[in-house]
Structure 1
Amino acid sequence: MARIAVVEDEAPLRTDLVEYLSACGHDVVGCGDGKELDEALDGRTIDIIILDINLPGEGGFSIAGRLRSHSDIGIIMLTARGLNVDRVVGLEVGADVYMVKPVELRELEAQVRTLARRMRVGAVAATGSVETDFPDAAAPTEWIYDQLSWTLISPEGKAVKLTGNERVFMSLLVTRPGEPVSRDEIFKALGKRGWDPSDRSVDSMVRRLRAKGEAALGCVLPIESVHSIGYAFAAAVGLR
């Protein structure tokens, strides 16, 4: 179970999301804008926010950036926009997941559960203690990805700083550890039109990142090439 705030100004959609996620066993509150969200945060503990971009008053990007500046709360951006630049901006301001409407409710709930497990893993790695908010959580992780400082931390506690493009690339991989991320998705996240077989810029970036990581961490980064698909982060990882 996760404690969720759904921030959506379209009342019918907000009601559907609250009812569905509640029926899945989560503790859910609906908010129509940033002000109502702040009031909800003052009155209860929230683990994950499902946040629309186009809101009256303060927009979703601004809310996400404001919350991320002082909180590790989980953020799922839910928006009608499908532009690549919006996805990049959403990740840059600290969103953990970016989904485009119309969204499949089962997929959204699956993302909530996955994000909840990752958050628990990160909390275990950071504190060394076990909480009981998410009883189906995964085992403690070894690698840590710090979204605020743009660093990847090895099991031994050594860190490597990422560039902007490396951060976009790594954000895609660590939010779906063990799952291949397609070259087309990577290219689009980096602001390109899509995968071009003649464009080797991503492969070059990965080679540089691997070399930089091995020099800084003293071990091989668990970034694996997946034949005919793309890349995957082949290790357990926590986000913070």
Structure 2
Amino acid sequence: MTATAVNPSHILVVDDDPALRALLLEYLGDNEMRVTAVDSGEAMLAAFDREAIDLVVLDLRLPGEDGLTLARQLRERANVPIVLLTGKAEEADRVMGLELGADDYVTKPFSPRELLARIRAVLRRYHQPTDVPVRDEQRRAFRFAGWELNLRTRRLTAADGSRLELSNHEFSLLVAFCSAPQRVLSRDQLLNLSRLHNAEVYDRTIDVQVLRLRRKIEADPFHPAFIVTERGAGYRFDVPVETLY
């Protein structure tokens, strides 16, 4: 098995065939991807609202469901990449799916290697820099050094899949750091960005919250690698951050 990526892409596979789901769980997982596999549109939407998903692999022919409608519902929720799984005789559906905003398709039967190549190609396109402004409320998650902060569920997940509870103040402070990675932020800026000014504030409010947050995410809170103190200036979140929209 290959080494696990620090921030693996999370792929949501939607197909009613249990053998295919098991195959893709293993194959994509062996190729440095995190995979969730479900068998219905309802389960897909629930997983999408619960997890930070990078790309959806969607079978257009789920029993009793309209795959095109499901693709449209996904597109309404977020600008998430979609790769369709289609049959050989479904050219009209493929065209309609692409017009609805799907990014690519693979015709069944297919090789897992081909699907992997198409997934990687689509993800590369989405990771290209863009000049199009994106509103803050469209952000779905932050990822850094194996950690994932889901902004919808307010969950912090470690690289091993374990979840840590954050207080409201800790969550707001971590969002502030992730929104401005590798920049020095003064205590006043952090008070404003984390909205701690709405709480009972005293001189060392930020310092106390930083210490509590370090105890949860740092391997050694007293020699931090992420939240670095800039003496006389404030703090710097000294790690690259990936934003998922």
Task: Provide the TM-score with structure 1 as the length reference.
Answer: 0.50
Q: 2:92 aligns with which of 80, 85, 97?
A: 85
Match of 2:70 in 1: 63
Match of 2:106 in 1: 99
Alpha carbons 1:2, 1:133 under 8 Å: kept:
no
- Structure number, greater radius of gyration: 2
CA 1:60/1:81 → structure 2, altered by over 3 Å: closer, same or farther?
Answer: farther
1:23 CA displacement:
0.7
1:15-64 deviation line (CA, Å, top 9, x unaligned) = 11111101101010001001111121122100100000111343211100
Q: Secondary structure at the match of 1:121?
A: coil
Name the CA distance, whole Å, in 1 between partners of 2:103 and 2:89: 16
Name the CA distance, whole Å, in 1 between partners of 2:143 and 2:61: 30
Name the CA distance, whole Å, in 1 between partners of 2:144 and 2:87: 30
Q: Secondary structure at the match of 1:69?
A: helix
| Counterpart mapping for 1:1-240 below 5 A | 1-121=8-128, 124-127=130-133
Name the CA distance, whole Å, in 2 between partners of 1:113 and 1:59: 26
1:66-121 deviation line (CA, Å, top 9, x unaligned) = 11134210100012243332221111121100110111111110111111111111
What's the Cα RMSD here?
2.6
Task: Provide the TM-score with structure 2 as the length reference.
Answer: 0.49
Name the CA distance, whole Å, in 2 between partners of 1:110 and 1:133: 23
Count, aligned residues: 133
Structure 2, unmatched stretches of 5+, are: 1-7, 135-140, 146-244
- Per mean C-alpha deviation after superposition, the further-off stretch among 75-84 and 1-10 is 75-84
Name the CA distance, whole Å, in 1 between partners of 2:39 and 2:128: 31
Structure 1, unmatched stretches of 5+, are: 136-239
Name the CA distance, whole Å, in 1 between partners of 2:83 and 2:45: 17
Alpha carbons 2:57, 2:85 under 8 Å: kept:
yes
Name the CA distance, whole Å, in 2 between partners of 1:133 and 1:96: 23
Give the AA of the match of 1:80: G
Q: Secondary structure at the match of 2:52?
A: coil
Match of 1:228 in 2: none
Give the AA of the match of 1:59: D
Q: Secondary structure at the match of 1:39?
A: helix
Alpha carbons 1:7, 1:34 under 8 Å: kept:
yes
Q: Secondary structure at the match of 2:32?
A: coil
